[in-house]
Structures are given as C-alpha cells and as structure tokens.
C-alpha cells in the first residue's frame, strides 16, 4: 500500500506539472514489474492509433515481467535452477544479450552493480511482494559472502539461436530487478517510434523516459522527496532523456528504528547505509537501462558517490545523504527547480566534477 501511495503521488505530480494548455495527452496505465506504469502520448494522430501502439508497449512489459521474474516460475528461474545444479542451460538471444550487458555494467562499476546476488536478496526477504521486518541470520550472510557469487562467474557461449550459459559458482542466482525497468523503457521507446509516435512520456514506477515534447512544451517530471510526501525538485526532460532514482523509501523494512532498504552491497552483504536517494539523468543510446542501472553503484558507494559517478562517466547526479544533505552536480543544478517544504527550500550543495 505504501508503494502504491508513493507512486500515485509521483504520478499525479508528473501529470499535474505537464497539464498546461488546452491539449491533453492520451494517458494509459497498467500494473507490471510490481509497480504502476503510465504512458502519456502527446501526438496529433487518431486516438485509436495511440491506443494500439501503447497496447503493444504494455504487452511487451507483461512479457518481460513474466520471462524474467526472479522468484516466480520463469525462464530466469529455470536458469537459476540449472546454475544451482551445476548444469548449463541454453537460453534465448534476448536472455544472452541481457546477461552480457549486465556483466559489462558489473565490470564498469567494480562489482557494485551485480545481478548475480539473487540469493542474498532472498536472504533479506526481498523476493516477496511484501516484506517481513526480520533481519537475516548473520551466519547465513557470512556464508554467502565466503562464496563470492557474481555474474562475472557465468560463461556465455553464443550460437545461432541464443547461448549456452554455465557457471563456476553454484551460489550465483540472477535477479534483473536492478535493470529490467530501464530495459523496458528502451523497448517502449522503440515500439512507439516504430508506430510513428514521437512525443510521449513513459513512467515505470519513477523510472521515466521522454520522447519529443508535450505539444511543443518540455515534459516536466517531479523527483520525489525521500522523507516526505511531495516533490524535492522538478526537472524538464529533453527528447530521448531518461531519469532514474534509487532510494531507501519504497522497498525497505524497519527493525528497532533502523531502516533496511533493498539496495544491498555485494561486498558487505548488507544494505548500503548513508544515503536516502540518488537520481540521475542520461541520454543517448540505451538511456533507459543506463538510467536504471547506474543509480545502484552510486547509491551503494555512499560517501564515495562522486568518484563512482566520474568512473561511470555520469555527470548528472542529484544525491540526498542520510542526514538530508542535498548535493547536485553543476551541470544538472541549473535544470532543477527545487520545491519548498514547510515554507523552506532545501540547502543545496553544488558539486563540480
């Protein structure tokens, strides 16, 4: 319920911010990837054409959700079962491409982003639709750490129809929760463009991509404040840009007043401390998946986030520390309109790369 309320607040803010002028976009909604999805289309074409294109987008989202579900029976769980049994499995070209891409992101982030930590995610209870406020056994965490599971340990042998996948570590279990929404943004953009839809806003639970404009005006989206209901800032997204946020305020539980979010550090086995949220803006090829993936190493790295941002060549970052300190890189600062809360604007630290 909390996740639904937060999403609804963000969705309403995004729609309200864009609602200027007489024309209104055609809006479609669904529930997939465990969150609400909204597609707004601002195109002067018949509504039936818009609805047909968006229906293809939502159907693709549903297919991806079912194919790569991490704990309900899926093609991904079949692969995880094979890896656990020490067997190799033939996978589709799509699956192979996702694995190779994820290995690349893992190398680039020095392992801070690693979809091979599915067993750790399950130990923390995040392979569920609702979370129990209970800490995992420290012995189990230590045992997992001692095996050093990583997606880097997978061997992917491509052939004409896909690839054979095997692993040297039976503790590797895959979870694409840190990238799949971003991949879906890129798929949605491709489907809409193929249908001659050039102006749209795609929102998957706060991961957002903009195509074109809203009838000539920029698409405007709100960035959720991590500790109160309402926007921290408003951003105008340009054509082809995507924005993503990783935060500790949606998927988490509390024990003895301590918050434990789902963003786990593969090096320690525990949730990353010291950060409330990280938001980035990216453009160019694969903007969707990069906007989703790259927030994770920035969040997990804590106080070292700026060094990781430079390593990942990510210059547009909004960072909210555990104590509420708001930092923003110089090139993004001028694009954000920070919003008051209780009559006050936040204190902003402007960071030069």
Which domains are delineated in the chain? 2-68+193-351 (3.10.520.10), 75-177 (1.10.3980.10)
pLDDT at 229: 94
Mean pLDDT for the stretch of residues 262-271: 98
Report pLDDT for 268.
Answer: 98
Q: CB of 186 within 8 A of CB of 287? A: yes
What mean pLDDT is predicted for residues 117-124? 98
What percent of the chain lies above the pLDDT cut of 90?
92
The rounded mean pLDDT for the chain is 93
> According to the model, what pLDDT value does residue 153 have?
98
**Cα angle 12, 296, 91; round to 5:** 100
Cross-strand pairs, 166: 155
State mean pLDDT over 268-286: 97
What pLDDT, on the 0 to 100 scale, is given for residue 68? 98
Question: In this predicted model, which residue has the larger pLDDT, 130 or 38?
Answer: 38
286-319 exposure pattern, b = at least 16 Cβ within 10 A, e = fewer: ebbbbbbbbbbbbbbbeeebbebbeebebebbbb
Q: Tell me the backbone φ, ψ of residue 131, rounded to 5 degrees.
A: -115, 140
**What pLDDT digit, counting tens, does each position of 137-194 carry?**
999 999 999 999 999 999 999 999 999 999 999 999 999 999 999 999 999 999 999 9
Q: Which residue has the higher pLDDT, 353 or 118?
A: 118
Please determine, for residue 9, whether its predicted confidence score (pLDDT) is greater than 50: no
Let me know: does 215 contact 244? Beta carbons within 8 Å: no
- pLDDT of residue 6 exceeding 70, the answer is no
Residue 47 clears pLDDT 60, i.e. is over it? yes
Could you give the percent of the chain with pLDDT greater than 70?
Answer: 93
Predicted pLDDT at 129: 87
**pLDDT at residue number 349:** 95
Cα(82)–Cα(63) distance, integer angstroms:
22
* Angle made by CA atoms 33, 34, 36, in degrees to the nearest 5: 85
pTM above the 0.75 mark? yes
pLDDT at position 3 over 70: no
What is the spatial distance between Cα 307 and Cα 14, in angstroms, rounded to a whole number?
31
pLDDT confidence of residue 8: 38
What is the C-alpha R_g of the chain?
20
Determine the average pLDDT of the residues in 284-291: 97
Residue 10 has pLDDT above 80, yes or no: no
């Amino acid at each position: 319920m909390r996740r639904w309320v937060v999403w609804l607040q963000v969705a309403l803010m995004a729609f309200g911010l864009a609602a200027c002028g007489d024309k209104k976009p055609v809006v479609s909604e669904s529930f997939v990837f465990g969150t609400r999805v909204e597609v707004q289309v601002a195109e002067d074409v018949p509504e039936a054409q818009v609805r047909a294109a968006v229906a293809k987008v939502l159907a693709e989202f549903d297919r991806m959700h079912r194919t790569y579900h991490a704990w309900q029976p899926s093609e991904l769980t079949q692969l995880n079962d094979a890896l656990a049994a020490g067997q190799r499995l033939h996978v589709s070209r799509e699956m192979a491409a996702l694995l190779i891409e994820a290995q690349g992101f893992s190398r680039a982030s020095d392992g801070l982003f690693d979809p091979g930590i599915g067993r750790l995610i399950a130990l923390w209870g995040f392979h569920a639709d609702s979370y129990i406020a209970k800490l995992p056994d420290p012995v189990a965490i230590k045992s997992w750490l001692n095996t050093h599971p990583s997606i880097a340990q997978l061997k992917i042998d491509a052939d004409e129809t896909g690839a054979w996948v095997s692993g040297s570590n039976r503790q590797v279990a895959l979870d694409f929760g840190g990238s799949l929404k971003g991949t879906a943004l890129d798929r949605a953009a491709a489907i809409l463009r193929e249908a001659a839809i050039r102006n749209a806003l795609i929102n998957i639970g706060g991961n957002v991509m903009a195509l074109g404009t809203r009838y000539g005006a920029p698409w405007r989206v709100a960035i959720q404040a991590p500790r109160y209901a309402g926007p921290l800032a408003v951003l105008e997204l340009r054509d082809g840009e995507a924005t993503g946020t990783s935060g500790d305020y949606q998927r988490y539980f509390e024990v003895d007043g301590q918050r434990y979010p789902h963003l786990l550090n593969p090096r320690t086995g525990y949730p990353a401390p010291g950060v409330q949220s990280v938001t980035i803006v990216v453009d160019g090829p694969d903007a969707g998946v990069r906007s989703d993936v790259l927030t994770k190493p920035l969040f997990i790295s804590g106080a070292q986030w700026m060094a990781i941002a430079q390593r990942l060549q990510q210059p547009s970052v909004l960072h909210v520390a555990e104590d509420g300190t708001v930092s923003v890189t110089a090139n993004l600062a001028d694009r954000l309109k920070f919003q008051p809360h209780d009559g006050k604007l936040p204190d902003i630290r402007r960071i030069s790369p």
